[in-house]
């Protein structure tokens, strides 16, 4: 496949749905599949034509569905298989495709494979998971290795039935599958086929970077004070997983016209992304990385009340790194946040100037090359939640970390809550704010998770009624991206940063059939810049009421942003 080959998923505009918090139709306070069906016209009107839906399978919901107990059925709180079929049909009718979240790394401990596996050493399913004996150190039994789990503590859990430990890099209710076992791979492939045959258009492949493990279960020698070492190399991006992905592609994906986007996340470099998604690799179509998600001071705060400040030079470098190294080599998704990150409005935006800063952020991102994924609520500028106590949180990883830090350890509780409020995944998971009505118009009953109290001023209905709203600006952005005159430049044009050294302005040029310049002021003050060698031909979009600007002397008001068709003059 050539980089310039036109595939539907290169043109698609994606939208991620955290099902549990999207829209509740039956009054149980939990978002459901029928809720997505009811909002399909809203999504179509927004301009999206691809939905990534977070896990909807049967699950005890320890990690809100990433702990699957039956891959072949829908969780009853979300609906039925018939609802899922209807959703696929109704979406397709509107020209909207759907990708499912494919959870490959683990199952729930309540999955029948695991319930069998733990029964005895010689159970036929024993090898579906990763079991090891404990180690004896100074006459005492400890975990097989000192490796940490992403959700806090050890990545091993002792199981009393056989006295061995199973691996779980997330929560203890999420035992890791053993992909080295061919039977596991085959079972997963059959499952993936089941969904594709139902009409699903592809997958977001969850935690795919972890499906191969170091085969030698040796302690990490990482230099860190923690008891369990966060040495993710032991189970991330290991070469063997590429054999598994090639097999998956060969046996399943290649037989359908579908797309895949893998979650590869922290630590992966463009070189690794090209290994997953390179043009002739026959593995995945693209992979998510997290490099641009934390380009501010939220992990370095000395005090939780300190102001969150964007580190724009760092953010610019991260965008450059991916936009230039992957161009021509591998496709790429572009996104601001997902269900595992804080709200972008609270990360890089300005809640007080929601519409201006939100429209700037949309402009800065969505004219890069790659497949966009908007996260639910981003289009109205939803913000972080004002968490005050540990009870306010839902996320199992927050609860685990709190226990280790403040119950077993002696970290100050208020400080822990203060820092976690900035960083927590729960920020993205509060109910979608549909209108200024009880429970944010998400449900007729008390939602499973608190609505953000700012729904009174930030909600879809008000945004729809205001021509100058953020929602209406998002529609303009997406419409321009699909404009037949410029679409090829937006999809296939290369990317070159302009004003690279500027600390407050982010600007880049996309060149293909046309040259299109994007200029954005990331901050709440006026910037004057001069861009040489380019002349404006058409003002395509701006977040102020504007006339055609002069590039030689360009005064940018707070968060001012432009998309301009330009001509090269030298």
**Residues forming the active site:** 206, 263
Nearer to ligand GLC, 22 or 170 (CB): 170
24 touches, from Ca ion, ligand GLC, none (C-beta below 5 to 8 Å by class): Ca ion
Nearer to Ca ion, 61 or 286 (CB): 61
Contacts of 342 by beta carbon, 8 Å cutoff, 6+ apart = 298, 384, 422, 423, 424, 425, 427, 428
DSSP state of 416: H
Minimal distance, residue 339 CB to ligand GLC, in Å: 6
* Out of 251, 282, 340, 535, the residue judged to bind ligand GLC by CB under 6 A: 340
Nearer to ligand GLC, 394 or 543 (CB): 394
* Out of 206, 291, 378, 379, the residue judged to bind ligand GLC by CB under 6 A: 206
Please report, as residue ranges, which positions from 541 to 570 form the binding site for ligand GLC (by CB under 6 A).
none
Q: In sequence order, what E strands does 76-199 have?
A: 97-103, 131-132, 135-137, 140-142, 156-158, 165-167
Q: Are strands 50-53 and 14-17 parallel, antiparallel or unpaired?
A: parallel
Minimal distance, residue 151 CB to ligand GLC, in Å: 8
In the bound state, the residue with its beta carbon closest to Ca ion is 32
Query: Are the C-beta atoms of residues 376 and 16 closer than 8 Å to each other?
Result: yes
What angle, 0 to 180 degrees and rounded to 10, lies between the N-to-C axes of helices 312-326 and 270-277?
40
Query: Are the C-beta atoms of residues 427 and 346 closer than 8 Å to each other?
Result: yes
Nearer to ligand GLC, 170 or 348 (CB): 170
For every residue of 553-564, DSSP letters joined together read TEEE-TT-EEEE
Query: Are the C-beta atoms of residues 214 and 235 closer than 8 Å to each other?
Result: yes
Query: Are the C-beta atoms of residues 557 and 529 closer than 8 Å to each other?
Result: no
Binding track over 386-425 against Ca ion, x by CB under 5 A = ----------------------------------------
Binding track over 35-74 against ligand GLC, x by CB under 6 A = ----------------------------x--x--------
Contacts of 381 by beta carbon, 8 Å cutoff, 6+ apart = 345, 349, 351, 354, 355, 358, 458, 470
In the bound state, the residue with its beta carbon closest to ligand GLC is 66
Nearer to Ca ion, 25 or 260 (CB): 25
Cβ-in-10-Å burial (0-12, 13-18, 19+) of 90 comes to middle
Binding track over 91-110 against ligand GLC, x by CB under 6 A = ------------x-------
Nearer to ligand GLC, 74 or 491 (CB): 74
For the chain, report the end-to-end CA distance as a whole number of angstroms: 34
Query: Element (H or E) spanning 250, and its range?
Result: helix 240-251
Binding track over 247-286 against ligand GLC, x by CB under 6 A = ----------------x-----------------------
C-alpha closest to that of 221 among 234, 208, 206, 237 = 234
Please report, as residue ranges, which positions from 15 to 54 form the binding site for Ca ion (by CB under 5 A).
24, 26, 28, 30, 32
User: Contact positions toward ligand GLC, by CB under 6 A?
Assistant: 63, 66, 103, 170, 206-207, 263, 339-340
User: Contact positions toward Ca ion, by CB under 5 A?
Assistant: 24, 26, 28, 30, 32
């Amino acid at each position: 496949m050539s980089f310039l080959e036109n595939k539907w998923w290169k043109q698609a505009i994606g939208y991620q749905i955290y099902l549990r918090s999207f829209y509740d139709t039956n009054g149980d306070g939990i978002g459901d599949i029928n809720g997505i069906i009811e909002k399909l016209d809203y999504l179509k009107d927004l301009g999206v034509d691809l939905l990534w839906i977070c896990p909807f399978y049967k699950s005890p919901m320890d990690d809100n569905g990433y702990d699957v107990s039956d891959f072949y059925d829908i969780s009853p709180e979300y609906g039925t298989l018939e609802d899922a079929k209807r959703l696929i049909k109704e979406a397709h009718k509107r020209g909207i495709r759907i990708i499912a979240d494919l959870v490959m790394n683990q199952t729930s401990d309540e999955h029948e494979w695991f319930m069998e596996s733990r029964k005895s050493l010689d159970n036929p399913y024993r090898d579906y998971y990763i079991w090891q004996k404990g180690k004896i150190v100074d006459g005492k039994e400890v975990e097989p290795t000192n490796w940490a789990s992403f959700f806090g503590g050890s990545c091993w859990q002792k199981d009393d039935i056989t006295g061995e430990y199973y691996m779980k890099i997330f929560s203890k209710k999420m035992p890791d599958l053993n992909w080295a076992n061919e039977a596991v791979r085959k079972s997963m492939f059959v499952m993936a086929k089941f969904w594709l045959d139902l009409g699903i258009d592809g997958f977001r492949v969850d935690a795919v970077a972890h499906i191969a493990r170091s085969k030698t279960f040796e302690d990490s020698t990482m230099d860190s004070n923690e008891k369990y070492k966060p040495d993710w190399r032991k189970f991330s991006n290991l070469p063997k997983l590429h054999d598994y992905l090639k097999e998956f592609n060969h046996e399943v994906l290649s037989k359908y016209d579908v797309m895949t986007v893998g979650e590869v996340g922290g630590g992966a470099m463009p070189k690794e992304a090209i290994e997953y998604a390179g043009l002739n690799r026959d593995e995945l179509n693209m992979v998510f990385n997290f490099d641009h998600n934390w380009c501010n001071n939220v992990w370095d705060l000395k005090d939780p009340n300190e102001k969150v400040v964007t580190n724009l030079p760092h953010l610019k470098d991260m965008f450059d790194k991916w936009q230039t190294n992957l161009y021509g080599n591998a496709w790429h998704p572009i996104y601001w946040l997902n269900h595992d990150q804080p709200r972008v409005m609270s990360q890089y935006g300005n809640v007080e100037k929601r519409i201006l800063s939100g429209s700037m952020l949309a402009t800065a991102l969505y004219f890069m090359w790659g497949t966009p994924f908007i996260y639910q609520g981003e289009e109205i500028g939803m913000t972080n939640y004002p968490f005050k106590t540990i009870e306010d949180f839902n996320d199992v990883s927050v609860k685990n970390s709190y226990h280790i830090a403040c119950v077993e350890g002696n970290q100050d509780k208020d400080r822990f809550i203060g820092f976690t409020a900035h960083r927590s995944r729960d920020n993205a998971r509060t109910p979608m704010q549909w209108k200024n009505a009880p429970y944010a118009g998400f449900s007729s009953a008390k939602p499973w998770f608190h609505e953000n109290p700012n729904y009174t001023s930030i909600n879809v209905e008000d945004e729809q009624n205001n021509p100058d709203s953020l929602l209406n600006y998002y529609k303009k952005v997406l419409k321009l991206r699909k404009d037949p005159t410029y679409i090829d430049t937006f999809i296939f044009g290369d990317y070159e940063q302009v004003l690279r050294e500027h600390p407050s302005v982010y600007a880049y040029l996309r060149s293909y059939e046309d040259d299109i310049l994007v200029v954005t002021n990331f901050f709440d003050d006026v910037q004057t810049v001069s861009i040489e060698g380019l002349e404006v031909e058409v003002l395509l979009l701006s977040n102020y009421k504007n006339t055609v600007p002069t590039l030689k002397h360009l005064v940018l008001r707070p968060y001012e942003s432009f998309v301009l068709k330009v001509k090269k003059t030298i």
